[in-house]
Amino acid sequence: MDSFDSIEQRAAERKGGSAALEEILPKPASNSALRKRPDDRYLAEMTKCVFRSGFVWQIIENKWPGFEAAFDGFDVSTAAMLSDEDLERLGSDERIVRNAPKIRTVRRNAQFIREIRDEHGSFGAFLAAWPRQDFVGMWDVLKRRGDRLGGQTGRFFLRFVGWDTPVLSPDVVTALIGQGVIEKNPTSAKALKAVQVAFNIWHEESGRPFCQISRILSATV
């Protein structure tokens, strides 16, 4: 596995220099910002990521005001109490994408957020308290306790709300394979642990957040 200095240098050369590389790097939210974000905004982002998965993202963006209206601003308590009849009605609501399985995730993910809120005070407080050196553990929580929040959907959700995480894009996976960290797209617990260890090492070497490490890795491909 190469030092992160050499990886970053290679990425900078491919992107036209260190300054150009720096401009494309994401910046994670502070713990304070995570805590201040209302729970309804976390539910909204979960829903947006679920509906984007396997779909044209721009269509979801264009219809998003309709989603906000149809789901009453994603109030967590209201969404958690949606009845089966409510969900059936939403399945024919032209303001949103009428995908019944994905519509049902709103109720379950609202219940998930409400459970976390009961345990930690708010979903943002839960995110702020979780150790970044265990992002794989956070991915697992989203997969186990949320609905359709496994894999890239959960990772994109975390990235879009500002929680510091890698996103295992095809380029990042290719870079990790090239570094000898994994042999293929990581799905097993063993492979994901190897990814975590590699990112922790590079984080210690560079002081960079994990979101930037993954973007730099992708820029080497």
pLDDT tens per residue, range 11-57:
999 999 999 999 999 999 999 999 999 999 999 999 999 999 999 99
Between CA 22 and CA 97 the distance in angstroms is 37
Contact at 8 Å (CB) between 107 and 87?
Answer: yes
* Structure-token match 């998930």, residue found: 112
Contact at 8 Å (CB) between 84 and 93?
Answer: no
Residue 101's CB is within 10 A of a number of other CB atoms, namely 10
pLDDT tens per residue, range 64-112:
999 999 999 999 999 999 999 999 999 999 999 999 999 999 999 999 9
Between CA 155 and CA 215 the distance in angstroms is 13
In this prediction, residues 113-120 reach a mean pLDDT of: 98
What is the chain's Cα-based Rg? 19
> Which pLDDT does position 163 carry in this prediction?
98
> Which pLDDT does position 43 carry in this prediction?
98
CATH architecture group of domain 31-161: Orthogonal Bundle (1.10)
Domain ranges (residues) in the chain: 4-28+166-219, 31-161
> Which pLDDT does position 28 carry in this prediction?
98
> Which pLDDT does position 136 carry in this prediction?
98
> Which pLDDT does position 212 carry in this prediction?
98
> Which pLDDT does position 133 carry in this prediction?
96
> Which pLDDT does position 56 carry in this prediction?
94
pLDDT tens per residue, range 138-166:
999 999 999 999 999 999 999 999 999 99
Q: CA 11: distance to chain centroid?
A: 23
> Which pLDDT does position 26 carry in this prediction?
96
Between CA 29 and CA 52 the distance in angstroms is 22
In this prediction, residues 203-208 reach a mean pLDDT of: 98
Q: Tally the C-alpha atoms within 13 A of residue 147's C-alpha that lie toward its C-beta.
A: 18
> Which pLDDT does position 193 carry in this prediction?
97
Which among 137, 92, 112, 138 has a CA at the least distance from the CA of 47? 112
> Which pLDDT does position 209 carry in this prediction?
98
pTM above the 0.85 mark?
A: yes
Between CA 22 and CA 218 the distance in angstroms is 13
* Residue 49 vs residues 8, 18, 57, 133: alpha-carbon distances, Å: 29, 31, 9, 24
Between CA 207 and CA 156 the distance in angstroms is 22
Confidence bin at 118 (pLDDT 50/70/90): very high
